[in-house]
A and B are shown apart, each in its own frame.
Chain A
Amino acid sequence: MDSLEEIRKQIDVVDAQMSGLFEARMELSRQIIDYKMTHGLAISDPAREEEVVRRNSARVGDPDIREYYVRFQKELMALSRDWQRRLSKGLRVAYSGVPGAFAYIAAARMFPGAQLVSYPDFGAAYHSCEAGETDVVVLPFENSFAGEVSTVTDLMFSGSLYVNHAAEIEAEQNLLGLPGADKSRIREVYSHPQALAQCAEYLQRNGFEGRECSNTAVAAKKVSALQDPAVAAIGSAEAAELYGLEVLEPRINTGTVNKTRFAAFSRMLRLDTENKRKMGKHFILMYTVKNEAGALAQTLNIIGAHNFNMCNLHSRPMKELLWNYYFFVELDGDVATEEGNSLLRELGPLCDRLKLVGSFYTH
């Protein structure tokens, strides 16, 4: 048997190899975050991480050691995420609203550690990314209760950005008022129209009058400024805290599930054909068809012929052309496949304009 000295020397050799490998791995993480930043992707990708752990741990022969290896691998990935977060501090993420608004919360959750930049409205936030002032813009595009966010849908159609990452964020709406305010004395409630729509039933039941604001944080700020106990706002607990208000009643939104889907827009379209995970992928197409009988049906037939399940289809007016409409279609499946390529190719001649807005995991 080798002496203790001898064994330690061998450990030194292994450690020396591991430090080199660790550094190389962190360098690769840097490349990953560069890619993710240009494509507006999230740092954390739990499904991918799980797969890596499963695949690598299978290589460890001794089952007892494998247990430790799983912990080692998980820690390694946590360090990599930390590192990527530090590197992405320079990432500029635009959102619409003021700190504490729902969009702010969403942007912070989708890009932890990034620098969040506020814009007064959806259009200004979107155009900041188009112009290169920001790297990513996070905007809500659909609410499970109030439906599409039409301004954002219009931007998706007319703008030049792509969606590679989307997240569902629960919109918990609370009644916010001045500290100690009496709920029964409230007359007016300020909030964003979407939030008012989500709480319409509650407002009606209590005889409150809804007043529209550009976003929920602005509403909270206004209530704080007015100092009138008859005025309240609808918004997040974060907004209440930011503007010195109190949650008078939590969860006043109708229905149990009220989620908003946020999309991260960036200037590059990502079509990763290498990715083996096909489940839970969606993509969005927007198009116009010739103004003639059956033109829309033809496009839907093509979609059907390629076996893509259509989750959502709606039309929006094209503002520059009176009584002309474009279509928004969200499809279940992976567009970066042979079927997806054929689909786009075949839709081309049937559409006057066709745009692949993006492809993303729904998680």
Chain B
Amino acid sequence: MIFKRKLLIPKEIKEMYPISEKGIAAKRQNDKNIEGIFTGSDDRLLLVIGPCSADREDAVIDYISRLRTLQDRVEEKIVIVPRIYTNKPRTTGAGYKGMLHQPNPQAHSDMLRGLISIRKLHMRALNETGFSCADEMLYPENHRFLDDLLSYVAVGARSVEDQQHRLTASGLDIPVGMKNPTGGDLSVMMNALRAAQSGHTFIYRNWEVETQGNPLAHAILRGYVDAHGISHPNYHYEDLARLCALYADSGLQNPAVVVDTNHANSGKQFGEQVRIAKEILHSTRHNADIRALVKGMMIESYLEDGCQKPGDGVYGKSITDPCLGWEKTERLVLDLADLWI
């Protein structure tokens, strides 16, 4: 390991790219809305929606500005939290690892520029659209660079068994969605939730820290892959009923699930997300427990349908997993607003 250079600390980068007064007020309101959904005082449907990876600032801001207009149209039924995913877990470590690593997807890694770029992007989103967004907490230590900008974080399927992720989640004041692991074992996810909802003392950014537990930590079902490499969904009625049962015996606070409509649930067939989302709503109409448990969905969507290689250069088209294009996204969100009762 070569120690190349010392990077900036969160305080320094926050001073470079601070939030506006309006932005601070917007995040406060967003946090309140989202918390209401998880505690049950707000009955609206949460949509964590956006590109698989935030590859370029211009297209992402364009996309989020469109979400703003859409959010205003469906305000009575839906609360949107845009996804700005700036760091991507890669199964083998190869390939595009997100804006944090490669602010220019075509160039080599530049972590300093990456740290600044992700802050700048999230800051612009908040200052310009009033959305405080969602990101994946891939590296728990990096959360402090964005903690004043994010309204939601997810702990990925590969990270959910990791102690540092669980302990860090216990110290956040925003909802943390914890995914089922890639192998599908729901007990792993439930243990992660137990850890995240309890208080801990540990080392974080070279400090001894103490947390109180995060009552807004909740489950995300994202489908799973079996020993033969075959994808299996876990968004069906029976899966949701089973999660209700697990929650019932767990003693966890604020039982909640956000269903990821892509990944192993769609087998990465991005177009299936429309059907899957509607099926989940259908399930909620048949079982009051499921209706109470399902808080929202996580949808991968961008300006263009599908995906491309990083070098192909189509504006607003995913360079990682395939996404639903804007027209289909808009249609879907309007439909969900009609169907959510």
Contacts and interface: CB of A to CB of B under 8 A. Distances in A.
A301 B7 CA distance: 9
Given A297-B6, A298-B8, A305 B112 contact: yes
A294 B6 contact: yes
A294 B12 CA distance: 14
B6 A346 contact: no
Given A294-B6, A297-B6, A301-B5, A349 B112 contact: no
Given A301-B112, A305-B112, A346 B5 contact: no
A345 interface: yes
Contacts of A294: 6
B12 A350 contact: yes
A302 interface: yes
Nearest to A294: B6
B20 to A, nearest CB: 14
Interface residues of A, number: 12
Contacts of A348: 15-16
Interface in B240-271: none
Kindly state the interface size class of chain B when it binds its partner: 10 to 19
A305 B112 CA distance: 7
B16 A298 contact: no
Interface in B277-334: none
B17 interface: yes
Contacts, number: 26
B127 to A, nearest CB: 14
A345 B112 contact: no
A246 B12 CA distance: 61
Contacts of B15: 348-349
A350 B8 CA distance: 9
B5 to A, nearest CB: 6
Contact of B16 (A297, A301, A346): A346
Interface in B1-30: 5-6, 8, 12, 15-17
Contacts of A297: 5-6
B17 A298 contact: no
A186 B116 CA distance: 64
A348 B13 CA distance: 10
A298 B113 contact: no
Interface in A315-363: 342, 345-346, 348-350
25 contacts: A294-B6, A297-B5, A297-B6, A298-B6, A298-B8, A298-B12, A301-B5, A301-B112, A302-B112, A305-B110, A305-B112, A305-B113, A305-B116, A342-B116, A342-B120, A345-B16, A345-B17, A346-B16, A346-B116, A348-B15, A348-B16, A349-B12, A349-B15, A349-B16, A350-B12
Given A294-B6, A297-B5, A345-B16, 18 more contacts: A298-B8, A298-B12, A301-B5, A301-B112, A302-B112, A305-B110, A305-B112, A305-B113, A342-B120, A345-B17, A346-B16, A346-B116, A348-B15, A348-B16, A349-B12, A349-B15, A349-B16, A350-B12
